[in-house]
Amino acid sequence: MRTQQAAQVSTDPGPAADLPARLGNLLLGTDSRQRLTLTLLGLVALVSATVVMLLTYAVAIGMADLRQVALLSACVFASIIGFYAMIRSGCNRRFSDPTLAMPQAIMAQTLIACAYALTGPLHGATVIMLALVMVFGMFSLRPAAVRIVSVYTVVVMGAVIYWSTQHQPLHYQPQRELFNFGLTAIVMLAISQLSGQLMDMRTRLKTQKIALEGALAHIKEMAARDELTGLPNRRRMMTLLQEHATRHARGGPRFFVCIIDLDHFKHINDTYGHAAGDAVLRSFAAQAQVVLRTTDIIGRWGGEEFLVLLQETPPGEPMLGVARLRESLSVTPASPGLPDVRVRFSAGFARYEENEPIDQAIERADRALYAAKSAGRNCSIVL
C-alpha cells in the first residue's frame, strides 16, 4: 500500500475569507493530494456530463429511449457520487493507487460504450470520448494500467458494437461498425504506446532533475569552499560575518574577528617549493579545525592568511583557542613532508562593536595583525 503524505493546503482562508475558498475547502478538503484526486474525478464528471447531455439530446430528437437514458444517467451520477464519497472520506487511501484513476477510467469507458449503443444515429460522436478518457489516463495511470484500460475498452466496444449491429441494424450497419471498431482498436493501441513513451520521458526528466539538483548543490559547495584547504573561502566568511553582525544587532552573542598570517611563509615556499607550501597550508587548516572550539569558524582569507570568527562565549574565551593553536603548532610538524619545520603565526584580534559595519572590524583586526608582525611576529594583539 502506498503511503500518503498529508500535505496540507491552507485550511483557514482568514477573516476576510472569500466564499469560494471556503467552499473549495468544504468540497475538496484541505489535503493537497486528495484535492488533486478530486480534481481528476471532476474531469471524469465533466466527460460523463457531456455524454449525458448527448444522450439527452438524442432523447429530445427521438433517437434514444428516455427510460434507458434516464437509467444510464442515474448510474453515472451514482458512481460519481460514490467515488466522491470514497475520496472525501479518505477510504481511497486504503488502495495501492489512492487516485482511483483506473476504476474511474473503467467506469467512464463503460458509460461511453453504453452511450454508444443508446444514441442510434448519433453514436459516432461518442467514440471521441473514449480517446479523451485515455488521454486523461495517460497522465494519471502507469503504462501497464493504460494497457489494461485500453484492452478493456476494445473488448467492451467489440461486444457493444456486435450487440448493436444485431439489435439495431438500421443505425449500426456492420461494415461501418467494423470500421469504427478498427479505429477504436488503433487509437487504443496508439495511446498505450504513447503512454509508455510518456512514462520514459517523465522518468528521464526526473533523473535529470535529481542530477541537476546534485550538481547545483555541488557548485554551491564549491563556490563557498577554498579548494586547497577545504575551509570556507573569503566570500563565505564575509557572508558568515555579516550574518553574525545581524544576529548581534538583534541581541545575539558578541564575536571577535581574528586574522592569522603565517610567519615567513615565503621562506617555506622558497626553501621547499610551492607544493610543500601548499601542504603546509593544508596541515595548518586541518590542525586549526581540530584545536579551535567547534563554535569558532576558520576560513581561508587569501594566500597564507586565515580569518577566524570567534564567539565570545564566555567573555575572554575567544583568545584561548588561538593560543592553544599556537601551542599545538609549536610541537607539530608543519606538514607530513616537513617533520622538522614548525609553523608560527601572527594574529590580530578585533572585538565586533555594536552596530559597526563589518568591514570596520576586519580593518581593525588587520591593523592588529600588522602590529603583531611589527612586534616581532609569533604573537597576538587585540585592538
Ligand X SMILES: Nc1nc2c(ncn2[C@@H]2O[C@H](COP(=O)(O)OP(=O)(O)OP(=O)(O)O)[C@@H](O)[C@H]2O)c(=O)[nH]1
Nearer to ligand X, 57 or 370 (CB): 370
Shortest CB 318 distance to ligand X, Å: 22
Min dist CB 270 to ligand X, Å, is 7
- Among 289, 348, 344, smallest CA distance to 321 is for 289
- Closest approach of Cβ 13 to ligand X, in Å? 58
Q: By the 8 A CB rule, do 165 and 176 touch?
A: no
Nearer to ligand X, 257 or 262 (CB): 262
Q: How far is the CB of 226 from ligand X (least distance, A)?
A: 9
- Integer angstrom CA distances of residue 110 from 40, 107, 223: 17, 5, 59
C-beta of 148 vs 286, nearer to ligand X: 286
CB of 315 to ligand X, least distance (A): 30
Our CB check for ligand X shows the closer of 246 and 271 to be: 271
136 versus 306: smaller Cβ distance to ligand X: 306
Which residue, 171 or 377, has its beta carbon nearer to ligand X?
377
User: Shortest distance, CB of residue 345 to ligand X, whole angstroms?
Assistant: 9
**CA 222 distance to own-chain centroid:** 22
- Nearest distance in Å: CB 280, ligand X: 7
Choice between 65 and 278, CB closer to ligand X: 278
Residue ranges in contact with ligand X by CB under 6 A: 228, 261-266, 269, 274, 277-278, 281, 303-304, 373, 377
Nearest residue to ligand X by CB is 277
**Smallest distance from the beta carbon of 203 to ligand X, in angstroms?**
45
**Toward ligand X, which CB reaches closer, 86 or 281?**
281
Q: CA-based Rg of the chain, rounded to a whole angstrom?
A: 37
